[in-house]
Amino acid sequence: MGDAVVERLHRWLREHESELLEDTRAMLRIPSIEGTAAPNAPFGAECRQALDLALEMSGRFGMKTKDLEGFVGYAEIGQGPRMFATLGHLDVVPVGPGWKHEPFGAEVDGGYIYARGAEDDKGPTIASLYAVRALKECVPDLPARVRQIFGCNEESGFQCVEHYLKVDETPTLAVSPDAGWPLYHGEKGIYNPVISASLPQGSVSLLEVCGGQRINIVPDSCEARVRVAAGSIDEVRGKLDDAWDANVRFDWEGVDTIKIRAHGKAAHAATPFLGDSALTRLFRFLYEISPLDVQPAYEKLLDLTHNAGAGLGLIGTDDETGDLTANVGIVDTADGRVRLHYSVRAPMTWTEATIHARVSKRLAILGDGIRVDEGRFSPGLFFPLDHPLVSTILEVYREETGDMAEPGVMGGGTYARAFPNAVSIGSGWEGDGKAHETDERLKIENLFKMSRIYAHLYYRLATVAAGLA
């Protein structure tokens, strides 16, 4: 392993902590939410700006850089036929309401940096870049090349790394610093269908409904407008008087139209039970205020928001990656239909054919023209504990921290699933803000600690990669 090399890496990183902090804050100030495509900026101007900054930093550090048409970029050090890569992303999810700190202010408060992307994934990505920089300065005879990849479309499609894999070199080994410690050696499959149903019509007719920011975020707000039939107004008013959910508000617009607003709590789609879906609240409210003739239609919509997938016929588990979860992240209306945009995290052992068969069976039972309009499936991943990638990460983490935690599995999807021989590793610790929630934050000391662990780990994994046939 070479303890003297690790000590040198750690010392160099401690001497450059102030630079790491300021470069991280500079990156966090860029509101790199996916925007309108432009030439050489397929994910919008802000994502392009973040990529430009990452490449400028890397060039300033003396690394070889490459920009792949704005989809993705990378910085590389070392020489040799084998290559170890670390996979980070610079795009972030939208911020939503309720922040106490400026979402792109990169404010320091109480030893934490507050910003969207602090924990997912800009903070870890810049810590990773500094680990690569430390390798360049301290280990001139690396046994393999080390490449820091900067993606720009992780949160909404993986088009960035799909483009990379079409036009550039596949790493020998890779990690994605975008998960929990010590590593996640399994990730669930991800199924992203759009399910549509006719707008309920009758005594309470649904005119429109909209809400949510991304499919991988539990929606924290949702709005709808309904028209109440003349003969049902008194009954509906009586039910409104008994409405109990304080997170759902309504106003009459004229004599027969109601505007409804529901509020919830955002969370990552992989753990929807940690959030509170505004859409579920809204459909439950509509079910409760509706007369009998239209209640079944609203009950079906409510059922389809079940976060264990029961409404889709997908409730289930496996021994490797655990229970399925389902999140309706976006709802909208088009052509007389309500559309539910899902992020389903399925057990790793489930195939695309298994999922489609279950959903088809369930929707046939529901009837009423409820259908799958589109869908995309990404298989999960799983590496055994004796795989050299897993065992090396575990050994380094335990040596660095003394923490004997075992590798985990998760419902989140990282770049690791797009590359062969790749797993996700930690990007923070307890107390750091959870991904996709308000007031996301990263403890500054954890930023520094990550950089030291990454440097040690990358040195070891470059050695492992160099020795693979």
Residue 336 Ramachandran class (φ > 0 left, ψ -120 to 50 alpha, else beta) = left
Give phi and psi for 419, each to the nearest 5.
-120, 145
DSSP 369: T
pLDDT at position 122 is 98
Residues with Cβ within 8 Å of 120's Cβ and at least 6 positions away in sequence, in order, are: 92, 93, 178, 427, 435, 436, 440
pLDDT at position 155 is 93
Residue with tokens 């509706």: 290
Q: CA 239, CA 378: separation in Å to the nearest integer?
A: 44
Q: Is the pLDDT of residue 153 over 50?
A: yes
Task: For CATH 3.30.70.360, list the domain ranges present in the chain.
Answer: 190-378
Q: Looking at domain 3-188+381-467, which CATH architecture does it have?
A: 3-Layer(aba) Sandwich (3.40)
Give phi and psi for 429, each to the nearest 5.
-135, 180
Confidence category of residue 147, pLDDT binned at 50, 70, 90: very high
Query: Across the chain, what does the average pLDDT equal?
Result: 96
pLDDT at position 285 is 98
Task: For CATH 3.40.630.10, list the domain ranges present in the chain.
Answer: 3-188+381-467
pLDDT at position 1 is 42
Tell me the percentage of the chain whose pLDDT exceeds 70: 99
Ordered DSSP codes for 38-57: BTTBTT-HHHHHHHHHHHHH
pTM: 0.82
The interaxial angle of helices 122-138 and 17-28, nearest 10 deg, is 140
Q: First vs last Cα of the chain: how many Å apart?
A: 20
pLDDT at position 70 is 98
Q: CA 52, CA 73: separation in Å to the nearest integer?
A: 9
Using an 8 Å Cβ cutoff, are 425 and 179 in contact? yes
Residues with catalytic function: 91, 154
Q: CA 302, CA 294: separation in Å to the nearest integer?
A: 13
pLDDT at position 156 is 86
Mean pLDDT of 140-152: 97
pLDDT tens column, 404-443: 999 999 888 899 999 999 999 999 998 998 888 899 999 9
Ordered DSSP codes for 273-327: GGSB-HHHHHHHHHHHHS-TTTHHHHHHHHHTT-TTSGGGT---EETTTEE-EEE
Structure tokens, 231: 């003969």
**Lowest-confidence region among 93-97, 134-138, 151-155:** 93-97
Residue length, the chain?
Answer: 469
Ordered DSSP codes for 421-466: TEEEEE---TTSPPTTSTT-EEEHHHHHHHHHHHHHHHHHHHHHHH
Structure tokens, 351: 């195939």
Looking at per-residue confidence, does 43 or 380 come out higher?
43
Using an 8 Å Cβ cutoff, are 188 and 327 in contact? no
pLDDT tens column, 275-316: 999 999 999 999 999 999 999 999 999 999 999 999 999 999
Q: CA 443, CA 271: separation in Å to the nearest integer?
A: 22
pLDDT at position 469 is 61
Using an 8 Å Cβ cutoff, are 260 and 286 in contact? yes
Structure tokens, 253: 């617009």
Give phi and psi for 301, each to the nearest 5.
-65, -40
- The distance of Cα 42 from the centroid of its chain, to the nearest Å, equals 19
Q: How, if at all, do strands 257-263 and 221-228 pair?
A: antiparallel
Using an 8 Å Cβ cutoff, are 380 and 449 in contact? no
Structure tokens, 131: 């680990």
pLDDT tens column, 346-391: 999 999 999 999 999 999 999 999 999 999 999 989 999 999 999 9
CATH of the domain spanning 190-378, picked from 1.10.10.10, 1.10.1040.10, 3.30.70.360, 3.40.50.1980: 3.30.70.360
Structure tokens, 13: 């990183």
